[in-house]
Structure 1
Amino acid sequence: MDEVEVVVAHSQRATLRVGEVFLKIDSDQQNIDVEVAAMALAPVPTPEILWRNPPVLAISAVPGTALGVLGAPSTASPAAWAAAGAAVRRLHEAPLPPWPGRKNYDELPAELEAECDWLISSGVLPSDLVKRNREIAEAAFRPWRPMFVHGDLQITHIFVDGDELTGIIDWSEAGPGDPMFDLASLTLGHEERLADVLTGYGSDVDLDAIRAWWSLRSLLASRWLIEHGFDPNSPGCEFDVLRSRM
């Protein structure tokens, strides 16, 4: 009998794997609604939906292996990274989904201020490091055209087999949004792979906005990660991303 593997678990959601089936349990059914709808619309490979019985969604495993993990070098080929970039481009050029964006971009400046204040007052990070990254992060607050974005395009959410992309998972944050956020999320902690991604994605990118999102995402995520038992200070993770900006 297959063992039950806990893929991720915290107070908001949990994902379990049993053989070739993933069971996603979410306290907010809107997340599952968005995931199901986004996978139906996305012009890229996604997992097969096996069944849904709220609060559980069962999906099939996609073939291949993750493009990499945050905090460790990626062994995937440059061609695999380029294939990921090409898939992201197809997604961004697809018609916008009919639901509102999952991220409220208008609230990000206030959220950034609050998180930076917490990082400094708590002593988690040096004030000069936080202030420098905040300066960089503010370049993300610029005019941009909404596109169909994944919204949580971590490196572990893209699967490849050799040089071919086999699937993109975890679509609960999908919706209209800033395309540079997707590119930054994909290359967070793997900045050296950005050129490979852009080989597949093509031109028409804002490199300053991508660099800004590396800082902004890391600053905004750090407190949540700490409070939910994750360590942003692990080698190659969010704190190292922030330190590299210095």
Structure 2
Amino acid sequence: MNEELINQCGDELYTAWLERKTVAPLTERYPDIALEDAYRIALRYIDRRVQAGETIIGKKIGVTSKPVQDFLGVFQPDFGQLTSGMVYEDGATIDLGTLIQPKAEAELAFVLKEDLTGPGITAMDVIRATDYVVPCFEIVDSRITDWKIKIQDTVADNASCGVYVLGKTKGDPRKLDITLAGMVLEKNGELFSTGVGAAVQGSPANAVAWLANTLGELGIPFKAGEVILSGSQSALVPVTGGDELVCHVGGLGSCSIKFSGRSAV
């Protein structure tokens, strides 16, 4: 795809986010779209948000666990960028009217104390560079109609980023076994699903190392202070107004989020 078409697609996704609407899958309209094209489209989309006043504060890894891969029909990880406009406080209520077709997933977030620049980063490097980990929810939200996505569609759409919330309890990954720590997800007071860190590429730290190395090849480092969402340990959770979600991570604590209103779709 040439630069003009890359920018056109990025602008289309930015407008879709701004106006809370969806667009037809890019892979249907541009069957030859390459993964590299999709990442360039995502950069254009995020650049538009930055130009409008947001700042980049971290990264996210998507499509890392089998339940999410099976649901989406996408079988390799992707990544997106987190901005200051995506953050909610633990226990906050999200107005679904600000989203399009949201689904929630529970995972572990890493907050870095040191820069990490791949390639060559290992899981142990990630642990050493991490200030703390917290349980979190990511509310994924696709700008692609009916979540009809292939890997190029979700990559172009900034890995289907919506918003996210971080728990308040900070854990030391050098003292907590993040691979074996169990996660329990409750929806409206009832058990919805269970998970474990090993469901994410064998360990959430492996997923973060993968992203550090992938971005390193593109000349993009992880910066101290950035938030890295390591990928869902739960099945995707459909949400409607009035729902409340709580995830508990063994040895770490919990994170909660509520929803009000109706989403655009």
How high is the TM-score relative to the length of structure 2? 0.30
How high is the TM-score relative to the length of structure 1? 0.32
Which of structures 1 and 2 has the larger relative contact order (alpha carbons within 8 angstroms, sep 6+)? 2
Greater helix content: 1
